[in-house]
Chains A and B, each alone.
Chain A
Amino acid sequence: MTKLPRWADVVLVPLICLLIAFVFCGLLIAAIGQNPWVALTSMIQGSLGTQSGWGYTLFYATNFLLTGLGVSIAFHASLFNIGGEGQATLGGLGVAVACLFIPWPHWSLALLGSITLSALFGALWALIPAWLQAKRGSHIVITTMMFNFIAYALISYLLVNVLRPEGAMDPATARFDKAFNLPKLADIFGVMGIPFSKAPPANIMLFVALALAVATWALLWHTRLGYAIRAFGKQEKAAVYAGISPVRITLYALLLSGGISGLMAVNAVQGGAHRLVMNSVEGAGFIGIAVALMGRNHPFGIVLASLLFGFLFQGGAQLAMASDPVTGEQLKIPREVITVLQALVILFTGALPYMVQRPLEKLFARGGR
């Protein structure tokens, strides 16, 4: 059977998928009587055209990078962890505990503390489904999904009944101590003498996440554990032959997966909201699945895919407020269209690459002779 050259498989297929998604989005926007070209340019302007836009894009990208990495590690073990949402929610609880109850002397220690606790909470939230899968064969897709709901209910309860400051009306914790605020990109670039917008919440977690991407790559392709995870994910029976314990690998892979997903809360909660609110994850756990799929479960691909989704998120938010540059009229694109747009991109890049692969293979086979 013919196969695509690697570069085409890795670069061309996602790009074509993306293009198809954008064409469909364009048709949709045209169908509601708006100018797709104007919509696209205002999306780009809003997300990549200004420092502030870039800051927000990178902030969202950091969220998706972390959940994407988490999903991908489980994917390599052939485990479909769709519980990133719940694990990140519990990670948020870890951040809240670290920032509300421990008097750290410095933000850096607070960061270490919240990283530790959020990873721990996220990992433990993945541990129960992992254990059920490894020991009892309960399917991980079902259990992690259920644990998303349990996480949501648990956080609701805690925010309403335990963590809500007295007299507050909304189900959220008190604001964290300002001293625990993470250095923003403006602060970091400021040290190097580069001016950057102070508005967006993008912070030092961007670099932590990038470092984690490198660490994930090293783990998967340069350590024994990564070797075992990948072998187990490809052929479970063969892994047993090689003396790799399926139980242990299932547990390790999901602990790592949940832990990294949990870290997403450090960026969103400590770096962004400065307090724990309901739905602090905002779907990043699910988008992480699309990011991992589009990035072909490779950390480098995941970095690129998370940037794309950061752009969609930020650009989409801008689109709702955009106005026509010529007439100055407000674009009448309802918020829902933006959700549809993001869904289309997920659909085409995450779920339908085969639709593109086959014709492309034929094209290459013909061109090759």
Chain B
Amino acid sequence: MPSQANLGRQATAAPFAIELRGISKAFGPVQANRDINIAVPKGTIHGIIGENGAGKSTLMSILYGFYKADAGTILVGGVETAIPDSQSAIRAGIGMVFQHFKLVQNFTVLENIILGAEDGPWLGTSLARARRALADLSREYDLDVNPDAVVEDLSVGHQQRVEILKALYRQADILILDEPTGVLTPEEADHLFRILRGLRDQGKTVILITHKLREIMETTDNVSVMRRGTMVGTVKTAETNPEELAELMVGRKVLLQVDKDPANPGREVLRVENLRVMTEGVERLKGVSFSIRAGEIVGIAGVAGNGQSELLEALGGIAEATGRIVMNGVDLPLKGLNGQSRREAGIAHVPEDRQVLGLIMDFAAWENVGFGYQNDPKYQSGLFMNNGALRADTEAKMARFDVRPPIPTLAAKNFSGGNQQKIVVAREIERNPDLLLIGQPTRGVDIGAIEFIHKEIVALRDAGKAVLLVSVELDEIRSLSDRVLVMFDGQIMGERPPQTDERELGLLMAGMTETTA
């Protein structure tokens, strides 16, 4: 063991803000991190990219003191540092901005910032100090937030800034952001990246965890790629390209662009007129009208929470609505719960949240393959369900959709996100529906499976079926759709061709039309 003095001298020499050496962590039989080495130079933005389950979050949780590594050492500023809990991480100058914000909704910005970092029992002095500090920070980093605003009134982008301010207020020199753009409009994401670049230029170190290749390419100085718990490599961003990164992540060549011919739309399949949905006394869908023809994919773009979920639920018969839904010329019922009648009308629905709606997580895969179609005569024999037929069907679907592991008796919760989604997509697409509703088809799905699911959606369209695609990933909407509708605040702001400039779509997503902009 080298002496402390020795390490201290190294510290001045080492240009690294953080260095991880030989980090390993296992959860039971699952090796989440295996001998991870990574060195993040001071004053850089360092991307960490990898598929779901590659071990990114585990690694960052170790760095932030949520988990204890089984082996390996952490060096902060060149000094070996033990991080047994998040308090120690904060003391070591590490701040974390989580994917799901940890803010008290009915506190003001200032109250949230001092929460857990109060000077004493009397809040007045802390608040005053925080107010001064906040003014400095806002000026320095272009982090503009009203300190007296109540958090729940702030937009998601601003809430994220509060999280960043919280970390900076705690003297963080190293800022870790976990999938920060998932909830942001392109505009807000751009602003975030400006802030991050500003932080870097002031000498802070930023670690950006994401699965979006584009963000990595645009923002980072270096990028480390993880695959199945191991560090595959660290490269300079300037010296790589998205294709190479995708290949490193997945371990094989991946087609990033969706390969499709122009649409050949036929008759009208679905017509929606003045559709409105109320939830808990608030109108979430405010009079939406559009139609979809056979053989086309209509994409709904928008920031999460602008009525897309309610639209899907009304169409899928899960939420009550007013207005009209006309499917193949027939009005569908809007009162009560109509999941079954929608299926009979030829609508299949891949819900946005497969783990809450699309699958029963404790059920075996074969039970989930019958989910929603439990009344189908082909799964019945007399009084009883024909479990044998369901199992056989599951095996066939697993083979065709390459679900891994191909074990029908395995519970849904034991599959990875991508394979869970494949089970749902297989179930719904193989019904050969006239209309497929598909929400966030690739959320939490790894690149290899994304490619596959996109191909299946296009194949369904080419078979002359109608597809309604809802996604918060603008790239996905633009590459898959034949027409794009942009939603904001429960309304459709306009229709655009998929080639439309991302900035223009982004403005629409933020509720700005040409007239108001």
Q: Is B322 interfacial (CB 8 A cutoff)?
A: no
Convert B18-34 into 0s and 1s, putting 1 for each residue whose CB lies closer than 8 angstroms to a CB of A: 00000000011100000
Q: Could you tell me the distance in whole angstroms from the C-beta of A4 to the nearest C-beta in chain B?
A: 11
CA separation between A244 and B357, bound complex, in Å? Answer: 12
Convert B325-351 into 0s and 1s, putting 1 for each residue whose CB lies closer than 8 angstroms to a CB of A: 000000000000111111100000101
Known: A2-B28, A245-B337. A223 touches B385 (CB 8 A): yes
Q: Is A242 interfacial (CB 8 A cutoff)?
A: yes
Kindly state the interface size class of chain A when it binds its partner: 20 to 34
CB-CB under 8 A from A1, the residues of chain B are 27-28
CA separation between A230 and B385, bound complex, in Å? Answer: 14
Assess the A231–B360 pair: CB atoms within 8 A: yes
Select B374's contact among A2, A224, A238, beta carbons within 8 Å: A224
CA separation between A240 and B340, bound complex, in Å? Answer: 9
Q: How many A-B residue pairs have CB under 8 A?
A: 78
Q: Is B1 interfacial (CB 8 A cutoff)?
A: no
Assess the A243–B385 pair: CB atoms within 8 A: no
Q: Could you tell me the distance in whole angstroms from the C-beta of A245 to the nearest C-beta in chain B?
A: 6
Q: Is A365 interfacial (CB 8 A cutoff)?
A: yes
**B201-209, B248-256, B260-268, B361-369 - the one binding chain A:** B361-369
Assess the A218–B384 pair: CB atoms within 8 A: yes
Q: Could you tell me the distance in whole angstroms from the C-beta of A207 to the nearest C-beta in chain B?
A: 22
Assess the B362–A243 pair: CB atoms within 8 A: no
Convert B352-382 into 0s and 1s, putting 1 for each residue whose CB lies closer than 8 angstroms to a CB of A: 0000111111110001001110110000100
Assess the B374–A365 pair: CB atoms within 8 A: no
CA separation between A224 and B371, bound complex, in Å? Answer: 11
Which chain B residue has the least Cβ–Cβ distance from A246? Answer: B337
Q: Could you tell me the distance in whole angstroms from the C-beta of A96 to the nearest C-beta in chain B?
A: 33
Assess the A238–B317 pair: CB atoms within 8 A: no
Assess the B318–A241 pair: CB atoms within 8 A: yes
Kindly state the interface size class of chain B when it binds its partner: 20 to 34
CB-CB under 8 A from B370, the residues of chain A are 227
Which chain B residues numbered 308 to 331 have a C-beta less than 8 Å away from chain A?
Answer: 316-318
CB-CB under 8 A from A228, the residues of chain B are 374
CA separation between A228 and B341, bound complex, in Å? Answer: 16
Known: A224-B374, A242-B371. A235 touches B356 (CB 8 A): yes
Known: A222-B387, A238-B359, A238-B360. A227 touches B374 (CB 8 A): yes
Q: Is B13 interfacial (CB 8 A cutoff)?
A: no
Q: Is A135 interfacial (CB 8 A cutoff)?
A: no
Which chain B residue has the least Cβ–Cβ distance from A221? Answer: B387
Select A243's contact among B27, B340, B360, B363, beta carbons within 8 Å: B340
CB-CB under 8 A from B356, the residues of chain A are 235, 237-238
Q: Could you tell me the distance in whole angstroms from the C-beta of B197 to the nearest C-beta in chain A?
A: 39
Assess the A365–B28 pair: CB atoms within 8 A: yes
CA separation between A237 and B363, bound complex, in Å? Answer: 15
Q: Is B5 interfacial (CB 8 A cutoff)?
A: no
Which chain A residues numbered 205 to 249 have a C-beta less than 8 Å away from chain B?
Answer: 218, 221-224, 227-228, 230-231, 234-235, 237-238, 240-246
Assess the A241–B385 pair: CB atoms within 8 A: no
Q: Is B383 interfacial (CB 8 A cutoff)?
A: yes
Select A231's contact among B341, B351, B371, B387, beta carbons within 8 Å: B371
Which chain B residue has the least Cβ–Cβ distance from A361? Answer: B28
Assess the A241–B27 pair: CB atoms within 8 A: no
CB-CB under 8 A from A365, the residues of chain B are 28
CA separation between A365 and B26, bound complex, in Å? Answer: 11
Q: Could you tell me the distance in whole angstroms from the C-beta of B94 to the nearest C-beta in chain A?
A: 26
Q: Which of B28, B349, B362 has most A Cβ within 10 Å?
A: B28
Q: Is A368 interfacial (CB 8 A cutoff)?
A: yes
Q: Could you tell me the distance in whole angstroms from the C-beta of A157 to the nearest C-beta in chain B?
A: 41
Which chain B residue has the least Cβ–Cβ distance from A3? Answer: B28
CB-CB under 8 A from B387, the residues of chain A are 221-222
Known: A243-B343, A245-B337. A224 touches B385 (CB 8 A): yes
CB-CB under 8 A from B343, the residues of chain A are 243
Assess the B337–A234 pair: CB atoms within 8 A: no
Q: Return the 10 tightest CB-CB contacts between A and B, nearest first.
A: A243-B340, A243-B339, A2-B28, A242-B372, A241-B357, A222-B384, A234-B360, A238-B357, A234-B362, A231-B360
Q: List 21 A-B contacts (CB under 8 A).
A: A1-B27, A2-B27, A2-B28, A223-B383, A224-B375, A224-B380, A227-B370, A227-B374, A227-B385, A231-B363, A234-B362, A235-B357, A235-B361, A237-B356, A241-B357, A241-B372, A242-B371, A244-B339, A244-B374, A368-B28, A369-B29
